[in-house]
Amino acid sequence: AKIKEIEFVKSSSRPKDCPRDDRPEFAMVGRSNVGKSSLINYLVRKKEVALTSKKPGKTQLINHFLVNKSWYLVDLPGYGFANAPESAKMDWSSFTKGYFLNRDSLVAVLLLIDASVPPQKIDLDCANWLGRNNISITFVFTKCDKMKASKGKRPDENIKRFQELIRENYRQHPPWIMTSSVTGLGRDDLLLHMSQLRNY
């Protein structure tokens, strides 16, 4: 399940501009600043594959990265950045939802959830929307190094609470993985998980 090679392919401003080959892909979504770009860099062990920044809203396009010349990791714009005008929030939903509903080669959405804060309504809304639309998801809890009580070793209150809130809306709880792009926690688990889904 190793990543030997990753190349940036293109940025698309519309779903229909995305690459047209049928290689399987995984899309990463989550609140702005949750750590999507950092997670791509950590998966490939490179500092600057995807642009990261402390300022939310940096990634505004659908970015395709081709891994081992065989599958795609897709970095999507973050949702819910605090200062965005109402119109920009609407753009996120139509644009990104269109991609989710029409992308046949999408294997699963990696829904990134910040483990260092209590469950956020916007994340629950997103999880429920994906569930209702039968889009396969995996929860990726990020920033687990910031969980003070357990130092990332076991799920803390934020994660447990999130799972309880989700449980009501799923017959089966989607797979979930704890990660930290700082300590490398969860990297091998996530790579193995994606390789199993690709070969399924």
Binding site for Mg ion (CB under 5 A): 36-37, 59
Q: Is 112 helix (H, G, I), strand (E, B) or coil?
A: strand
- Residue in 6, 25, 36, 74 binding ligand GTP, rule: CB under 6 A: 36
Residue 34 contact partner, candidates Mg ion, ligand GTP, none, CB within 5 to 8 A by sort of partner? ligand GTP
In this structure, are residues 58 and 51 in contact, taking their beta carbons and an 8 Å threshold? yes
Contacts of 54 (CB under 8 A, 6+ apart): 33
Mark residues 150-189: x for contact with ligand GTP by CB under 6 A, - for none. Answer: ------------------------------xxx-------
102 Cβ contact list (under 8 Å, min separation 6): 15
Looking at the DSSP bridge assignments, the partners of residue 12 are 62
* Max intra-chain CA distance, the chain: 46
Whether the Cβ atoms of residue 27 and residue 76 lie closer than 8 Å to each other: yes
Among the listed residues 15, 19, 24, 56, the single contact to ligand GTP using CB under 6 A: 56
Tell me the window of 15-23, 26-34, 100-108, 168-176 that interacts with ligand GTP (CB under 6 A). Answer: 26-34
In contact, 119 and 127? CB cutoff 8 Å = no
CA distance 160 to 118: 10
Nearer to ligand GTP among residue 70 and residue 183 (C-beta): 183
The residue (of 107 and 110) whose beta carbon lies closer to ligand GTP is 110
Select from 27, 35, 80, 177 the one that contacts ligand GTP (CB under 6 A).
35
Contact criterion met (CB below 8 Å) for 187 and 200: no
Map the footprint of ligand GTP across residues 78-137, applying CB under 6 A. 78
Distance of closest approach, residue 81 Cβ to ligand GTP, in angstroms: 7
Residues at the contact surface with ligand GTP, assessed by CB under 6 A: 30, 32-38, 52-54, 56-59, 78, 142-143, 145-146, 180-182
